């Protein structure tokens, strides 16, 4: 495979030098240009046709969000966009907006350029570059290929294990990672009105989930909020576990509440932990595994399987990154694979007061 061509965009000379060294140390990538601001980035993207762009979010005059919009609009196929974001409020808000509009991922940095911060950027950016260097540019969510109606393994054993709730669903738990901000708005819009609380474990560092919850609340006009310790989880609410930590669901006098905690996991918030506690405390829970790298959610889904509770996964062909849904399908813990709008519609049906198992059994794959 030819070396992937990368354009580096950052208003800091120091960061451009550091990012070039990080990128070119991977061997499979070469930096073909450097831009000091968004205007230069738009011009160089047109002239150099890079495969990947690392885009600083906060730049004077012409920021990374505006540059990303223009680059995606003017280039087909659009380059893979990885945002490099600071921890300021404006930086996190712009990053979440960029992810919702087509950026595939982001790397967070501080403004101090301390050695430990560069080490974090080095390891995090390399991991993301290794993945995207071997991937084509993702299609925009609206034109992704719809999935086949059934998935089979090579030995003809069904990979999906059809299950429906044995009663009206009282809790929905969601695990999602890379690509989540692009599709969560549409997913939530199709999941309304929801007759049960929903709790989302979206892999993100601290502070970014505050901006994500605000964006989704504005987009959907639903009760989307970032969770706090012992926050009540009423039916119809959508609660995002704060980034960088973990959350579990517990019983309360009024129904359910969120409890914030820490867990020995590779990713945070951890979907496996959320699923495992849902299986313990809810009468009729449903798990949902959406787009993302890795396999988070699969281990926790096994506990839902033991309760005979459904686990809906996003159809791999509709994902920005299909790792998490595919892992659940291959492990035999998924009950159905659907596009995001189909999952949302299924949740509306299952959480509705009129749902009965007899009605739904006829619709199972």
CB 64 within 8 A of CB 90: no
**What are the CA-CA distances from residue 323 to residues 245, 270, 293 (Å)?**
22, 15, 5
CB 172 within 8 A of CB 354: no
The catalytic residue positions are: 177, 203, 296
Residue 325 DSSP label: H
Cα angle: 69, vertex 70, 71; to 5 degrees? 95
Give all strands (DSSP E) within the chain, no chain letters. Answer: 4-9, 29-35, 52-56, 80-85, 105-108, 171-176, 198-202, 224-226, 231-232, 238-240, 246-252, 255-261, 285-289, 311-314, 336-338
CB 292 within 8 A of CB 183: no
CB 64 within 8 A of CB 56: yes
**What are the CA-CA distances from residue 207 to residues 95, 226, 314 (Å)?**
11, 10, 26
How many H-runs (helices) and E-runs (strands) does the chain carry? 12, 15
The candidate with the shortest Cα–Cα distance to 66, out of 99, 18, 98, 110, is 98
The Cα 361–Cα 364 span in angstroms is 5
Q: Is the peptide bond before 193 cis (omega within 30 degrees of 0)?
A: yes
Furthest C-alpha separation in the chain: 65
Residue 200, token pair as written in the block: 């989302």
């Amino acid at each position: 495979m030819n070396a992937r061509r990368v354009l580096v965009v950052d208003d800091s000379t120091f960061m451009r030098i550091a990012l070039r060294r990080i990128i070119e140390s991977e061997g499979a990538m070469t930096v073909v240009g450097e831009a000091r601001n968004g205007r230069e980035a738009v011009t160089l993207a047109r002239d150099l046709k890079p495969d990947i762009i690392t885009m600083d979010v906060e730049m004077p005059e012409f920021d990374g969000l505006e540059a990303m919009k223009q680059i995606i609009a003017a280039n087909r196929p659009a380059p893979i966009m990885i945002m490099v974001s600071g921890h300021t409020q404006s930086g996190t808000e712009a990053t979440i907006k960029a992810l919702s509009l087509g950026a595939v991922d982001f790397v967070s940095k501080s403004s101090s350029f301390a050695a430990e911060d560069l080490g974090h950027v080095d390891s995090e950016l390399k991991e993301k570059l290794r993945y995207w260097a071997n991937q084509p540019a993702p299609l925009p969510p609206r034109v992704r290929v719809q999935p086949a109606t059934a998935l089979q393994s090579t030995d003809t054993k069904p990979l999906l294990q059809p299950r429906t709730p044995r009663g009206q669903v009282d809790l929905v738990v969601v695990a999602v990672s890379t690509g989540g901000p692009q599709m969560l708005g549409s997913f939530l819009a199709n999941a309304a009105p929801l007759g049960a609380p929903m709790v989302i474990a979206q892999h993100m560092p601290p502070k970014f989930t505050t901006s994500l919850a605000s964006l989704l609340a504005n987009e959907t006009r639903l009760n989307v909020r970032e969770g706090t310790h012992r926050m009540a989880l009423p039916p119809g609410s959508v609660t995002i576990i704060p980034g960088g930590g973990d959350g579990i669901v517990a019983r309360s006098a009024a129904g359910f509440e969120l409890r914030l905690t820490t867990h020995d996991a590779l990713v945070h918030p951890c979907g496996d932990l959320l699923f495992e506690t849902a299986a313990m405390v809810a009468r009729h829970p449903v798990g949902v595994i959406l787009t993302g790298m890795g396999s988070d959610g699969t281990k926790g889904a096994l506990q839902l399987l033991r309760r005979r509770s459904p686990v809906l996964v996003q159809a791999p062909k509709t994902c920005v990154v299909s790792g998490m849904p595919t892992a659940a399908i291959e492990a035999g813990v998924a009950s159905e694979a659907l596009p995001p709008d189909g999952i949302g519609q299924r949740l509306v049906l299952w959480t509705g007061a009129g749902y009965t198992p007899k009605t739904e059994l006829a619709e199972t794959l």
